[in-house]
Amino acid sequence: MFFEPFLPGLSGTELLLAALLFVSLVFSASTLFFYRRLQGSLATAEESSAALIAHLSDGIYRSSLDGRQLSANPALVRLNGYDTEEEMLRSVEDIAVEWYVEPGRREEFRRILQAEGHVSNFVSEVYRHKTRERIWITESARVVRHGRTGKPLFYEGSVREITETRRRLNQEALFQKLMSGVPGGIFQLKVGASGISAFTFLSPGFERITGISVQEILRDPATLTQHMHVDDQQRYRTSFLEAASTLHSWEVEFRVETARGGEKWLRLTADPERSADGVTWHGYMADITIRKRQHAQIEALAYRDPLTGLANRRRFFRGMEATMAGLRDFGGTAAVLFIDLDNFKFLNDTAGHDAGDRCLKDVAAILQSNTAEGEIPARIGGDEFVLIIGGSLMDEAEMTQQALVRGNQILSAIRHGCGSHQVSASMGVVVFDGSSAGPDDVLQRADRAMYRAKQAGRDGLAICDLRPASETLKPIELLSLAAADTEQSLDTFQPRRRKLN
């Protein structure tokens, strides 16, 4: 055997026992060596684990089953307002009473823990133990049990402060509530450096007003203009381009067709904020439908004749002022046609006021059908009507010719278009420009010309040329149009020409 040279004189049995003893000693030494290495590794692991826990931002704790704090890492110590673990452990006696703001919250936590063996993300309002400041935390924990018996030994858990998160969530919830209650649409429109625009935010109030999906507009901003009234789209685009070119406030009013088929007036106001990658417009869209309707009603009461629907005297003078201002700024001429029905009193006296009212409405309809865009037909007295025409760059001769043709058409229409009653009218015409004295003066001259037409036999017109250098009328040409057809041009008229005093 291997041991025989070293152990002479021993029997085989004794040698075998010696060999076994040697092997046992070697094995014991090896086991002791590896055990000590394992202890060192475990100690190193425990130190690493302790260092990791000490540097965690979340609080880590161990507590007894009855609620006493057994250990706490530095993060949990700081969360509770203390400087050291020893100070905190001395101060905390009963977590349930001293920590949780809501009574019974600890019992709810313990009930879940005992029933399920663990708790995750248990949100509570607690006190910062030392300062008594109220904070919000989320807590997770597990029951640590005996390895063999399964008996609960203690609790281990983690705590994270979520006060700021909770505050942000509350603010967001409040913001969403406010946005839902705002009677309009708050928006952000981002225009990139490339010129591409997109809505980055649009509050629910917009959808409540229009029925148009907010998400649809966020996906495609062109959806808004697609629902916009066709007459307002160009004004909307022009207003935006003007505001964007100067980075001044953007304001515009427009109509949209709602998802339910109705029509709403919206007023948009926004202010720009420049950034490195473009401009963001922060704005608000308000529903002004009721205001527009009320404004229209007020305007109808203030500026409309209730019987005929034409503009009234006040609206006529406003139109005259605007026309004359345009002529002063840009030049050109315009004309006023002053119409007075012939023998209207006789119609009222013989056929009744209802017939007279119907006649006035018929005349109003004739004026409206003979009115171009931008012209103003008005009823300024009982049976007195006026029409402002022109406001263009025509010279005096061209405007005079147009006024005579238009006047002839209107008189012919009145003669043939007032129902069963034979009605005619007399008309005075004044051509004016930006140098004319004013609306009152122009109207007075048209009135005087109209009376000269009546004096000449009615059913005709007289034209008065307005000269700023003279306050007197030049000789008036009276055009008797009884025999003239509506479609005739001025050159085919065969009027009687008279000199009037």
pLDDT tens, N- to C-terminus, the chain (501 residues): 555 555 555 566 766 666 666 667 666 766 766 666 656 655 555 555 555 566 788 999 998 888 788 899 999 999 999 999 999 999 988 888 888 999 889 889 989 988 898 999 999 999 999 999 999 999 999 999 988 898 999 999 999 999 998 888 888 777 777 777 777 889 999 999 888 889 999 998 898 888 899 999 999 988 999 999 999 999 999 999 999 999 999 999 999 998 888 899 999 999 999 998 899 999 999 999 999 999 888 888 888 999 999 999 999 999 999 999 999 988 999 999 999 999 888 888 888 888 889 999 999 999 999 988 889 999 999 999 999 998 678 888 999 999 999 999 999 999 887 766 788 999 999 999 988 888 999 999 999 999 999 998 889 999 885 554 333 333 334 444 333 333 333 333 333 333 332
Number of domains observed in the structure of the chain: 4
Query: What amino acid occupies position 230?
Result: V
Last residue of a domain, one of 263, 292, 321: 292
AA identity, residue 213: S
If asked whether residues 26 and 104 sit together in one domain, one would say no
How many residues can be counted in the chain?
Answer: 501
Q: Name the residue range of residue 259's domain.
A: 183-215+250-292
First to last CA, the chain: 167
pTM comes to: 0.52
Helix (H, G, I), strand (E, B) or coil at 204: helix
Q: Give the β-pairing of 376-379 and 250-257.
A: unpaired
Are residues 341 and 208 located together in one domain of the fold? no
Q: Are residues 264 and 378 in the same domain?
A: no
Same-domain pairing of 328 and 475: yes
Task: Assign residue 335 the CATH number of its domain.
Answer: 3.30.70.270
Task: Check residue 475 and report its DSSP letter.
Answer: P
Asked if 42 and 50 touch (Cβ cutoff 8 Å), the reply is: no
The answer to the question of residue 297 being in a domain is: no
The verdict on 91 and 42 lying in the same domain is no
Supply 39's token pair. Answer: 């202890």
Q: Which residues contact 340 (CB under 8 A, 6 or more apart)?
A: 383, 384, 385, 425, 426, 427, 450, 454
Domain assignment present for 381: yes
Q: Which amino acid is at 393?
A: L
* Nearest-10 crossing angle of helices 396-416, 353-369: 140
Is residue 497 one of the residues assigned to a domain?
no
